[in-house]
Amino acid sequence: MRTPEPFSRCPRSILPTRVRVDRRSLLTAFGLLVVLGAGLPRLGSAQIPEEFNNLQVLPEEIEQRQLVGVMRGFAMGLGVRCWYCHVGEEGKPLSEFDFESDEKLTKKKARFMLEMTQYLDEERLPGLTEVGDRADPAVRLTCYTCHRGRPVPRTLEEELGHVIAEEGVDAAGARYRELREEFYGQGAFNFGEFTLLNVAESLGGEGRVEDGIEIVKLNLEFFPESGFSYFALGEGYRMLGEPAEAIAAYEKAQELVPGNPMIGRRLQELQAAAEEGGG
């Protein structure tokens, strides 16, 4: 396993935008979500019109059952219900919803995102054959590909970084526990050993070493045998000029990850400096 580079940040990318929608590929892309969505609350067909107005991205000739399947795919992919995009109140009959209205920004965003995924599926991803073999059958994008049951598809690092910027490290720790309680095991976030270490690295890169140490300590609550967490803890104390605490952390890291050259080198450097200072 690699030793994490201390306190670094990676750039993020952006995606392209709008183009046409093909009816066949649209329904294929949402096929899996329609099947999985069978466990969601049923949308009563009597509450949904047979004909639809104001369809700007979905094909105008789409059948009711197909449209309901696509809507279930949206709901499952984002972990939301009808009122999230449509004008209506949660708990009210769907017959009282104004599905035709474009009042809600979330509905406009849904159209945009649907066109974006269609563009990638139909125009960009086929180009993979020009640079190498594409998976067969081809991997297709759906809402769930990125959102995984959340309206805003942030990574856990991004989510915690936002909380830290707005409310501080203590609030981020509380948020981490909330998210872990709600989403652990569902694939929505990566709750693995290195996620919080990435957050700590970013904080250290911003000069917020003490905050980074607090995040590493939080990680050790859930991964008490993480040698790389102890290494990161040692890095933090070393940067703060606290050699005794750094040595103790490095020694624990070496115990848990024996033979790692970076840990051994750091430990030797600080031990040698401590001996010289004592002499």
Q: Residues 167, 271: one domain?
A: yes
**Residue 279 has what pLDDT?**
46
**Residue 47 has what pLDDT?**
63
**Residue 41 has what pLDDT?**
43
CATH of the domain at 191: 1.25.40.10
pLDDT reading at 45 higher than 80: no
pLDDT reading at 6 higher than 70: no
In a domain, 252, yes or no: yes
Q: Residues 117, 161: one domain?
A: no
Residue where a domain terminates, one of 119, 147, 175: 147
Asked if 111 and 72 touch (Cβ cutoff 8 Å), the reply is: no
Q: Residues 171, 271: one domain?
A: yes
pLDDT reading at 259 higher than 60: yes
- Tell me the residue range of the domain where 101 lies: 23-147
Q: Residues 206, 97: one domain?
A: no
Q: Residues 262, 218: one domain?
A: yes
In a domain, 40, yes or no: yes
Number of domains in the chain: 2
Residue where a domain terminates, one of 147, 173, 189: 147
- Paired tokens of 122: 């139909």
Q: Residues 160, 143: one domain?
A: no
- Average pLDDT (160-164) is 97
Q: Residues 182, 221: one domain?
A: yes
